[in-house]
Structure 1
């Protein structure tokens, strides 16, 4: 629904709302999790952690309802269903933007030479579209963008899973010396192992430092600022330059967080490392330009699916190595994140990809 000149900024501005969840969820946790109450409901024993998890459903239900009011992209309708389906949506957009009625839309008919809408649809059409993604010239775009998205989520979401626990360990540490977060984590694992051996019935008991919640909310505020800055500067600095800069800085911050002995500096570096997740919106803006309209949504979904797989891999690898190989794990994650930006050098020129795909009858 955005022109090519505004699409990158629109994606960045839209992604800024992700940061609100990083502020709202810790706020809910702050209100709910420290409680000691419980009550029965629908056969469940409702305790704070269960109420907290269930509260996550509310925004999803609201957004699902809101999507019912959002019209389909006229660009997609034009390419897949023809001008007759796209025209009413364009009229609705015109009426909304100009505060007038749809009947005042000055365009009566769309004339196009598009042949894409007449091609096979349904399951056969979907399979055909998938095969186009894994053939030149889109194959190189798919490999590069999906690998980079894997790296983005592997660090940002994979690390974010463990950051509240890491911060909790740092805040509850009783050491008077300046030690690294890796040493704090190692000491915590040692204490938990000893507690399990001495009193197995209390092995699952844990306490949360309340100061973790405002720090997590502060992280969300930092993400919001980064997203807004991306929306402002993405058109001035350039997408690839901005993406590479963020990933290199975040990769270096990840390595530094494991070796800095001061808790405040380590916390700041951890938050900076998590800002790598903001680069996902830039990568989406880079990738979206090379895919034809009929493939664009599918390509973005597959790319984010690969990214979520990276988040799962990152969370598992960090959870498995934090105790024994903490500094090595942070170093590998940071190096992989920063080093992955080399792939952006091989990103093709969108104009060349478009020209070749348009020769096959696909539209943008």
Structure 2
């Protein structure tokens, strides 16, 4: 008979479940959630230019359409974080993905750009907490020794999913079919089909999340110890292939403050938020929020407009020139499309889409090595180094008239996107469980809010003062790296957790 241990700390109890099949399955589920979110929220990168001819959208309207999804994400992140902390990660995540699929599918049948924006806003608002909640669920089901590495790898999934969208667009967008739907007065064509394809993964994610376990750490934090033990035994059985009776834990405790029951949704939400805006968590919230804001405003806009930037870089209008900077090629492309307006202008260059896929694949591969680099140098040094190197490369993009040298500097500049995952690991580790989902959603909300501003600013600057755009966003990236000096080291994080556990 196996001796049972009472009052085992949660981290020790989770470590005793082992690391194996369950963690791989959970990583797969959370990765599918990230893919579904990326496909739906960032689909505007392909759908907006592809629909321009049919919907007759201006440059300003396209900027609004491109920024609308992130606006939806911003406006609901706080709510989803609250619901996840009070109703459960798994349940809320499944609801998010279901609503996202329904609204995203309806957007494919939009008769004009306004209705398209409304449904994309709705689907993205539904998915506002998907990334943060999946990261929270994954981290709370993974033992501490493997947690950071696994969360960092989700950035690889994020980047590869972004590239996969380009690969899917290559065969779909050129299709010439057109079916008239009289009741909506629209023609169902290739870009609408692509919109449906991008929405489909959200439905599969909703089912997958519903079939997995709830976070055992969340269950302990809301005083559902029996359910938490049942979940931990289940994880042990999947990882070890042994009977649950061999799991040595009989009771588990959480060395953190537990959730207090508060009546009324607004009072409850306020109670869940106020700890983040008061000492000792206030400094953490401000620091992580600021770093998210600076990272997102500098890099996320380039990912949204990446197909457009690469398309202008590869475009035949400037593609044969080798003595033009990236901005000069973009300007030449825009001057050409302004003087020659035709339906083909709304198509995307196939080779350009392959380049987008290739760039995202390169970033994904780099991210796979990031966890090893973090283990060797530490998260703090990696974040600072990556931000400064990327920022300097951003400043150099237009200093060379050698086409492919500019492209290399541009790819190095985009490497700072890998720090999104690194920042998320900090957001997960630096806040206690009872406000963790709320904290991750809130800090991501701040970052995405800055990204909406950056998306519209970048579009305007590319068209009028392209070089200035790289100087501004490259400079912001360098500054965020310098501010990263204030990030606590892993040793300091351990001390913070010990202070949290000392709370009444």
Q: Shared topology, TM-score over 0.5?
A: yes
Moved more, 166-175 or 26-35: 166-175
Q: 2:201 aligns with which of 19, 41, 59?
A: 59
Equivalent-residue separation in structure 1 for 2:153 and 2:264 (angstroms): 33
Which residue of structure 2 lines up, in the alignment, with residue 45 of structure 1? 187
**CA apart distance, 1:304:** 1.6
Among 247, 253, 257, the alignment partner of 2:387 is: 247
Structure 2: how far apart are the matches of 1:5 and 1:308? 30
Do the aligned partners of residues 121 and 145 (structure 1) sit closer, same or farther apart at CA in structure 2, a change above 3 Å counting? farther
* Structure-2 separation of matches of 1:115 and 1:283: 24
Q: How does 1:274-313 map to 2 (within 5 A)?
A: 274-313=414-453
- Which runs of structure 1 show a deviation greater than 6 angstroms over 4 or more consecutive aligned residues? 112-115
What displacement does 1:322 show?
1.1
Determine whether 1:191 maps to 2:333. Answer: no
CA contact (8 A) 1:254 1:331 kept: yes
Shift of the 64–122 alpha-carbon distance from structure 1 to 2, 3 Å rule, reads: farther
Matched residue of 1:319: which SS?
helix
Q: Report deviation, 1:258.
A: 2.5
1:225, CA displacement in angstroms?
0.8
- Worse-superposed segment, 225-234 or 13-22: 13-22
1:173 aligns with 2:313: no
Structural RMSD (CA): 2.4
CA distance in 1, matches of 2:462, 2:260: 55
Q: Secondary structure at the match of 2:323?
A: coil
Structure 1 residues 207 and 290, CA, compared in 2 at 3 Å: closer, same or farther? closer
The separation in 1 between residues aligned to 2:427 and 2:415, in whole angstroms, is 20
- State how far apart, in whole Å, the 2-side matches of 1:288 and 1:67 are: 20
Q: Relative to 1, partners in 2 of residues 1:297 and 1:113: Cα closer, same or farther, differing over 3 Å?
A: closer
Aligned residue for 1:136, secondary structure, equals coil
The answer to whether the 8 A contact 1:180-1:261 is kept is yes
Q: Shift in Å at residue 167 of structure 1?
A: 1.7
- 1:258 aligned counterpart, secondary structure: coil
Q: Which moved more, 1:267-276 or 1:33-42?
A: 33-42
Q: Which has the higher contact order (CA 8 A, sep 6+)?
A: 1
Specify the SS of the correspondent of 2:252: coil
Q: Which residue of 1 aligns with 2:402?
A: 262
Match of 1:108 in 2: 250
Q: Which string of whole-angstrom CA distances, capped at 9 and with x for unpartnered residues, describes residues 142-191 of structure 1?
A: 11111111222223320122222122122223464501111122223333
| Equivalent position of 2:39 in the other structure | none
| 8 A contact 1:250–1:273 mirrored in 2 | yes
What is the TM-score when the length of structure 1 is the normalising length?
0.89
Query: Quick check: 1:23–1:221 contact (8 Å CA) kept in 2?
Result: yes
TM-score when scaled to structure 2?
A: 0.66
Aligned mates of 2:148, 2:435 — CA distance in 1: 18
| Inter-CA distance 255–10: structure 2 relative to 1 (3 Å threshold) | same
Do the aligned residues in 2 keep the contact of 1:158 with 1:310 (CA within 8 Å)? no
Structure 2: segments with no counterpart, 5+ residues? 1-140
1:3 maps to which of 143, 166, 189 = 143
Q: How far, CA to CA, are the matches of 1:141 and 1:93 in structure 2?
A: 32
Task: Confirm or deny: 8 A CA contact 2:292 2:446 kept in the other structure.
Answer: yes
Q: Provide the C-alpha distance between the structure 2 equivalents of 1:11 and 1:112, rounded to a whole number of angstroms.
A: 22
Contact 1:259/1:327, CA 8 A, preserved across alignment? no
After superposition, the Cα gap between the structure-2 partners of 1:314 and 1:112, relative to the gap in structure 1 and judged at 3 Å, is: closer
Query: Contact (CA 8 Å) 1:78, 1:117: kept in 2 or not?
Result: no
What residue number does 2:465 align with? 325
Q: Structure 1 unaligned segments of length 5 or more: list them.
A: 197-201
Question: 2-side partners of 1:245 and 1:213: how far apart?
Answer: 30
> Would the alpha carbon gap of residues 111 and 28 (structure 1) be closer, same or farther in structure 2, given more than 3 Å must change?
closer
Distance 2:452 2:260 in 1: 40
Matched, 1:31 2:205: no
Equivalent in 203, 227, 238 of residue 85 of structure 1: 227
CA distance in 2, matches of 1:7, 1:169: 40
Partner-residue secondary structure (3-state), 1:289: helix
1:129 and 2:277 equivalent?
A: no
Give the Cα separation in 1 of the matches to 2:363 and 2:218.
Answer: 31
